[in-house]
Structure 1
Amino acid sequence: MKPGLLFIATMLSLLTACQESPSGRSQLALLPDSMMDELGQEAFAEMKRQQPVETSPAVNAYVQCVAGHVIDAAVRVYPPESMPESWEVVVFDDPQPNAFALPGGKIGVHTGMLRLAQTPDQLAAVIGHEVAHVLADHGNERMTQQLGIQSVLYVVGFFSEGEGQRLLMEALGIGSQLGIALPFSRAHEREADLLGLNIMASAGFEPQQSVNLWRNMAAAAGGQPLEFLSTHPAHETRIERLQEEMEVALKLYQAATPASCAG
């Protein structure tokens, strides 16, 4: 086969290869996990160079405690191959209420989020949701969806490292200005809500507090665009869906050892 035809055939085979997310949803995610992990680690290192890091031992111990319980539960609930081998958790001194998780086992929580997530259970809902985005490979999937053939070209080395980091950050919902969150798709948000709810409950955090968290978010956001104008689900819709899944989450919570992290 001629080189050009071989290249096209390879691209088509990649584009038709599908996988399943942890919830069983079919997805197309073309970039190798090792590449996503490397980009996540590089992006996180750049964040730590650019943003001030919270130095309070009490605040760091609190966030590390909650994150540790959530990560341990995620390892128990989902196959080991879905999880990074280790995780790094950093609290950034930033008033923006934001949190994120990157491929390669990196979690960032802004001090501003700690004012909205008022209890350990609510913080667990935030971190569980963000870890779920990584478990479900949403960044990889969104890069594939948004960039199409460009993402495949990146796989074979046509994009520079800097360009790859920029595309990764956009795909993971982090804007060019650090701390500015861009929305995942509604399907990704719904899946992260469900997976995160089960993770936090399995970690021993009270799942009903996820609803209280989003009520806090709604109050802080004030007016929000109509749902059909936004890729994020409306707060009311998100709360309704969480409540629909609460019976299963409560059973997981009742079977778990209660988590204890002083806020």
Structure 2
Amino acid sequence: MRKTGTTLLLFIILATVALAQGPHRFQPGFNLFSKQQDVQLGQEAAAQVRKQMTVIHDPVLTNYVNQVGKRLASAPEARQSGFPFTFEVVADPSINAFALPGGPMFINTGLLKAVDSEAQLAGVMGHEMSHVILRHGTNQATKAKMIELPAVLAGQVAGGSMMGKLAQAGIGLGANSVLLKFSRSAESQADLTGSHIMAESGYNPMEMARFFEKLSAQGGGRTIQFMSDHPNPGNRERAIEQEAASLPHRNYGFQTGEFPRMKQAVAGIHEPPPRKAQQ
């Protein structure tokens, strides 16, 4: 009983502080890439991903992630970004998902197997979508290659492969690419913006916090990749809870109704062993 009272008191304190501060709003940082170049880069990189990973064409899984994804993409932050979001499932046991500049998103079967609810999946997808909206990948590439990029991007206007020209500047699509490895500040922004997208889509943003808390407690090999790609900015769960409390009251509980079918379908997928990470 005392524990319940303490938890309730903590939530009230967090809600009071959050309401006083209001929701956080972020804008994309300095970027030498145009939004059109983000889209071209993402499309070229997505074509590489499809060659390197096994895309799952199961209609139940494909339709499901697209239902959830399109629901999230209709939220104001996503819609106003103008990016053409796409959603695909790949056979990989790691609990992970990633989004490329301009909108292509890939969701691992390992993530679909790990989530306990549709809202938890929406939390991860909203987080990834926020990286695209805030243009974190090309912002980090800009900061990492400030000297080389102007000439590379100027040459790209004449046509040709964006990925090919970026490779000349040392920017690739490997596991340690600046396009996919984000700072703790970027992770924090994606957490909070993702919570807004969830709420606006009818999903309880507290489920994002619960899923991250579950991964932190679970540990183990399958979650190492997620935590490596998405470093904890510090007090992640509490920050999301506080942000959720600052948002306007909404009726959460939206569901596609297809979550049980998705879980049944993904349970039958046997993933290949994880591939050796590229640099």
Smaller-chain TM-score range? 0.7 to 0.9
Aligned twin of 1:4 = none
Q: Deviations over 1:151-181 (max 9, x none)?
A: 22322228974252672631221xxxxxxxx
Aligned twin of 1:176 = none
Q: Is the 8 A contact 2:38 2:102 kept in 1?
A: yes
Q: Is the 8 A contact 1:203 1:259 kept in 2?
A: no
Cα distance in 2 for partners of 1:26, 1:119 equals: 30
The count of corresponding residues between Structure 1 and Structure 2 is 223
The alignment partner of 2:231 has SS state of coil
RMSD: 2.9
Aligned twin of 1:42 = 44
Q: Deviations over 1:128-164 (max 9, x none)?
A: 0001001001111101111221222322228974252
| Alignment counterpart, residue 28 of structure 1, candidates 30, 44, 59 | 30
The 5-angstrom pairing of residues 137-216 of structure 1 reads 137-157=135-155, 161-164=163-166, 167=171, 169=173, 170-173=177-180, 183-216=181-214
Stretch deviating more after TM superposition (95-104 or 150-159):
150-159
Aligned twin of 1:253 = 250
Uncovered stretches (5+) of structure 1, i.e. residues with no partner: 1-21, 174-182
Q: Is the 8 A contact 1:31 1:140 kept in 2?
A: yes
Q: Give TM-score scaled by structure 2 length.
A: 0.71
Q: Is the 8 A contact 1:36 1:103 kept in 2?
A: yes
Aligned twin of 1:88 = 86
Q: Is the 8 A contact 1:88 1:107 kept in 2?
A: yes
Uncovered stretches (5+) of structure 2, i.e. residues with no partner: 1-23, 260-279
Cα distance in 1 for partners of 2:92, 2:68 equals: 19
Q: Is the 8 A contact 1:198 1:252 kept in 2?
A: no
* Pair 1:230–1:106, CA change in 2 (3 A): closer
Q: Give TM-score scaled by structure 1 length.
A: 0.75
Q: Percent identity?
A: 28
Cα distance in 2 for partners of 1:78, 1:105 equals: 10
The alignment partner of 1:253 has SS state of coil
For CA contacts below 8 A with separation 6 or more, give which structure has more relative contact order: 2
The 5-angstrom pairing of residues 68-107 of structure 1 reads 68-73=70-75, 76-77=76-77, 80=80, 82-84=81-83, 86-107=84-105
